[in-house]
A and B are shown apart, each in its own frame.
Chain A
């Protein structure tokens, strides 16, 4: 049994402008010890999916209108709120994109780390502090003994993100949801944080759901990938397979438009048009308005094709392995290999 199994999740927003079907039938699963990358462009529903798992959607206007979120077999969608609170922060933890605003500026980082520990574990304050200190050391905060009593504003962005990770991991969660954890950070700091997450995953054996728009981060850290487009899953596959022979025209387009896979100075491949906003998602296949392979059939909801090894694609005209390889093979010339 997978650690987390999301089945046909639908999270809609009821606004003045109509119903926004931000997440509309998303399914995936995460195993223990696995890193699942959830990628997509802005408005594809990746953050809403993450928030739905912990039922943190602002309500109204948002509502989970359908589907199941099975965490170790229990459906989080219907779980009573009291039970859900025990899951939040204890079994499932979240780190957000903005470490600057996710920490409360009036408490020390130690107090904030201890808070979750005291809430979910039966320990006294001294023990909680010891655990917190241990966590801060493990996420690589230098001089943790003194920094535990510092306030967030005394720390750099990378340090704050480490504190966020320490807080998230202090209760030894089985699943860590990381929503763009490194987007606000510099590349050298990003490298530190990603390495840290990988090390911690190996020692703790937790599942990680890594939400990002950065295909480079996915390629370097994830075991499997879910590609979201306009609130629906376009394709899911092992990382290697996805980058090697993507089958969905959207995934192919994304990979082909990356500047680091094209010869310098050449014209980049572009996907026509732009990401539709939730009020005007097309019917049928939502990518059909931008898809070079679109046909009349695409007005119907796309069928799922199972290509083996967990590689599934929701498309009327998936690309063959050879075509995909030919289109997306790296055309990099010399340097920076």
Chain B
């Protein structure tokens, strides 16, 4: 036996203390080498932070409000969960992120930093525990926000302040840098041109365009991410089943996909949208998902057709795993990478579809999405209202596409070395 024991054990890449990278780490290492894609990823993170912290930058509620002789009030903080001000679930979600998300992120981040020198298995275990706990805590907070709706402030603070000060009462008030509401316009400020007070002017309802653009980031990112998550999930399940079982199941699913693809998706979207009264952005996400699931389904199917004949699948069957386990635990992790790349492009596409719908007047008029702003610009022939959201869409879509390309290249074994 001696010859065997000593014979065999020479690790491929020698050093024992230094762990070899897992597949994810290799891909990430490749991605990091692509400077442009990396910069764009930072850009996207920045965009996300802008969306989360939008109220810090722009709100007509003061952080601190203290008319002379009265106790200090914090209207901005209370307004974050005020249903009369932030009517939309998207805003409530982001505001929960802003407050509780920030609080929860700190201990999670501490765990991540502390475990960075540990070995892979304990590191992964600790990190995933922290992540699950963090997400759980966040969802609890969000549920609490839903359960206890605050309905309070109807005051328009800048106007009250002006009135009070006119009456001679000193007011101590600290506003965000942009002291405007994304929703309520100022009748005195309709159609203002670009000025120091309104960096991008105001629209036909007297709302500050920059503020609306900022809050529009929330809407666009939400639509992009949720619509794509929805259709990727749907497409992945359908594609996995078609690819794994093949034969008649596959043929049936393929025919369904062909039917869906044959219908021009934009017309379908517009037609369906026209039938829904009180469209909300959730309707829009569902509509986008309903037409877009076919492409991840086809990608996953093709990957499954390739992978299901590999020996490791036979090995899993020989060991005796259930088909469900084989499909979702053995094959799917190997098939998912190209879909995740497609998802990045998908987010960009979903944002564009929403913008198109809003532009054509089939969006959700209650939210300040970029398409809605564009639409306002179209009806009022105000070029700032067209160029500004157009530029925002352009930047976001470009960032997403460049990140997607970066990941695609990082995954491509041919491009390595």
Contacts and interface: CB of A to CB of B under 8 A. Distances in A.
B12 interface: yes
A274 interface: yes
Contacts of B8: 273-274
B4 interface: yes
Contacts of B10: 273-274, 289
Most buried by B among A15, A17, A272: A272
Contact of A270 (B3, B12, B14, B416): B3
A201 to B, nearest CB: 38
A32 B3 CA distance: 44
B417 A61 contact: yes
B3 to A, nearest CB: 6
B14 A280 contact: yes
A61 B3 CA distance: 38
B4 A270 contact: yes
Nearest to B417: A15
A277 B12 contact: yes
Contacts of B14: 280
Contacts, number: 21
Secondary structure dominating the interface of A: loop
Contacts of A270: 3-4, 7
Interface string A7-21: 000000001110000
Q: Which of A15, A273, A289 has the most chain B CB atoms closer than 10 A to its own CB?
A: A273
A291 B75 CA distance: 80
A280 B6 CA distance: 19
Residues of B in contact with A, size category: 10 to 19
B3 A272 contact: yes
A289 B13 CA distance: 15
A15 B417 CA distance: 6
Given A277-B12, A280-B14, A16 B417 contact: yes
Interface in B386-417: 416-417
Contact of B7 (A15, A16, A272): A272
Interface string B1-40: 0011011101011100000000000000000000000000
A138 B12 CA distance: 47
A15 B8 CA distance: 28
A92 to B, nearest CB: 29
B16 to A, nearest CB: 14
A274 B13 CA distance: 12
Interface string A265-281: 00000111110010010
A216 B112 CA distance: 57
B7 A273 contact: yes
Interface string A209-241: 000000000000000000000000000000000
A280 B14 CA distance: 9
Nearest to B10: A273
A274 B6 CA distance: 11
Nearest to A277: B12
B4 to A, nearest CB: 7
Contacts of B3: 270, 272
Contacts of B7: 270-273
B27 to A, nearest CB: 15
Nearest to A274: B10
A309 to B, nearest CB: 34
Interface in B332-349: none
A277 B3 CA distance: 21
Contacts of B6: 272
Interface in A237-273: 270-273
A276 to B, nearest CB: 8
A20 to B, nearest CB: 10
Interface in A1-57: 15-17
A218 B280 CA distance: 76
Nearest to A275: B10
Contacts of A272: 3, 6-7
Contacts of B13: 280
A270 B8 CA distance: 10
A254 to B, nearest CB: 15
Contacts of A280: 13-14
A271 B3 CA distance: 9
A274 B7 CA distance: 8
Nearest to B12: A277
A270 to B, nearest CB: 5
Contacts of A61: 417
A270 B2 CA distance: 11
A61 to B, nearest CB: 7
Interface in A55-105: 61
A16 B13 CA distance: 15
A277 B13 CA distance: 9
A61 B416 CA distance: 11
B185 to A, nearest CB: 57
A119 to B, nearest CB: 30
A15 B416 CA distance: 10
Contacts of B4: 270
Contacts of B12: 277
A16 B12 CA distance: 17
Interface of A: 15-17, 61, 270-274, 277, 280, 289
9 contacts: A16-B417, A17-B417, A270-B3, A270-B7, A271-B7, A272-B3, A273-B7, A280-B13, A289-B10
* 5 shortest interchain CB distances as A-B pairs: A272-B7, A273-B10, A15-B417, A270-B7, A16-B417
Given A15-B417, A273-B10, A277-B12, 6 more contacts: A16-B417, A61-B417, A274-B8, A274-B10, A280-B13, A289-B10
